[in-house]
Amino acid sequence: MDGEPPMVEPAAASQTLAFVLVDNFSMLAFTAAIEPLRIANRVTGRELYRWCVVAKERGPVRASNGVEVAARLGLADIDLDHPPIVIVCAGLNAERNRDKPFFAWLRKAERHGAQIGALCTGTYLLARAGLLDGRRCAIHWEALPGFVEEFPDIDVAADLYQNDQGRFTCSGGTAALDLMLNKIALDHGNELATKVSEQCMLDRIRSPDDRQRLPIRARLGIHHPKLILAIELMEANLEEPLSQEMLAAYVGVSRRQLERLFKRHVGRTPAHYYLELRLERARHLLYQTDMPIMDVACACGFVSASHFSTCYRQMYGKTPREERTGSLAPA
């Protein structure tokens, strides 16, 4: 519970944030963004932040976990002469969102002086609205490959969150909590942000460039430094795969030693593990982009569509075309 008594703080103007929910939005990111604001109000005993839940039209919006949240306001209800801070909350299937009227509304809000941000894959929608040009942004690591392919000129990284020239984005999940704690620190000082962090049972506020994913050591439960380096090299070279000889040379072992390391600690050969990584990337691109299948194959290091299709079927039990067709079927 929030057990701290309110701290004394000078009066401050209240800020209003409009959380704009898109179908299949991430409930975790949404609530993680609101709770620090609530706690900041409670700890200070002042209404530092107000918020409202908005959708394209008034009514319930379904999150990716199936829970519906009532949006009491539609976009038409927002007073852009006195614009709130606009935060687009998205989640699954944002890469398929082509809602041009919504993008136009975002641009209009920006012209009226609104600060605009996004949680999780909401970054896709800001990019499609043309609001991320010349700015650094963040997006969930799973959506990163498709985003890079569609928007090669946008400076995107696997950061937790970014705040660049009035445009703030975060990778989703609990990173929304760090984003808002960072905002509270900028608005009202580190002392308040620390108190809110403690109420959330956090031992620290993560910085923007903290890693999204667990380190390989923790993710795969392996500790051999040469094996970790080999996997890092594989993950960094999916479009133009390194040969087994090159991998072994970079790591500083023989090819046979590298094979033994993988079989002992990962349970498969380096070639098989590398293939799995490339096919996993291909699967993300099939879901997240409209790239021709041959282009997906090339982006993942396959020189022919037939070889790509054969490997994909062996891995996932269906061809790339069947995978894409299934992903576009109505939910």
Tell me the C-alpha distance between 117 and 114, whole Å. Answer: 10
The pLDDT value given to residue 213: 76
Mean pLDDT of 254-271: 94
Tell me the C-alpha distance between 39 and 326, whole Å. Answer: 43
Tell me the C-alpha distance between 327 and 314, whole Å. Answer: 18
Does position 157 have pLDDT exceeding 50, yes or no? yes
Does position 8 have pLDDT exceeding 80, yes or no? no
The pLDDT value given to residue 328: 52
Does position 7 have pLDDT exceeding 50, yes or no? no
Q: Is 102 helix (H, G, I), strand (E, B) or coil?
A: helix
Q: Which residues contact 299 (CB under 8 A, 6 or more apart)?
A: 149, 238, 239, 281, 282, 285, 291
The pLDDT value given to residue 13: 74
The pLDDT value given to residue 171: 94
Q: What is the DSSP letter of 94?
A: G
Tell me the C-alpha distance between 260 and 271, whole Å. Answer: 12
How many CA atoms are closer than 13 Å to the CA of 210, on its beta-carbon side? Answer: 14
151 pLDDT band, cuts 50/70/90, is: very high
Does position 254 have pLDDT exceeding 90, yes or no? yes
184 pLDDT band, cuts 50/70/90, is: very high
**Listed range (20-29, 86-95, 219-228, 308-317) with the worst mean pLDDT:** 219-228
- Six token digits for residue 162: 């970014």
**What are the helix and strand counts (H, E) for the chain?**
14, 11
Note the pTM of the prediction, 2 decimals: 0.78
Question: Could you count the other beta carbons within 10 Å of the beta carbon of residue 86?
Answer: 23
The pLDDT value given to residue 327: 61
- Alpha carbon of residue 188 to chain centroid: 27
pLDDT tens-digit profile of 24-80?
A: 999 999 999 999 999 999 999 999 999 999 999 999 999 999 999 999 999 999 999
208 pLDDT band, cuts 50/70/90, is: confident
Q: Is 242 helix (H, G, I), strand (E, B) or coil?
A: coil
The pLDDT value given to residue 329: 45
Q: Which residues of 307-330 are buried (b: 16+ CB within 10 A; e: fewer)?
A: ebbebbeeebeeebeebbeeeeee
Q: Which residues of 189-213 are buried (b: 16+ CB within 10 A; e: fewer)?
A: eeebbbbbbebbebeebbebeeebe
Q: What dihedral angle (degrees, nearest 10) is formed by the CA atoms of 304, 305, 308, 309?
A: -150
* Domains of the chain with CATH codes: 15-199 (3.40.50.880), 216-327 (1.10.10.60)
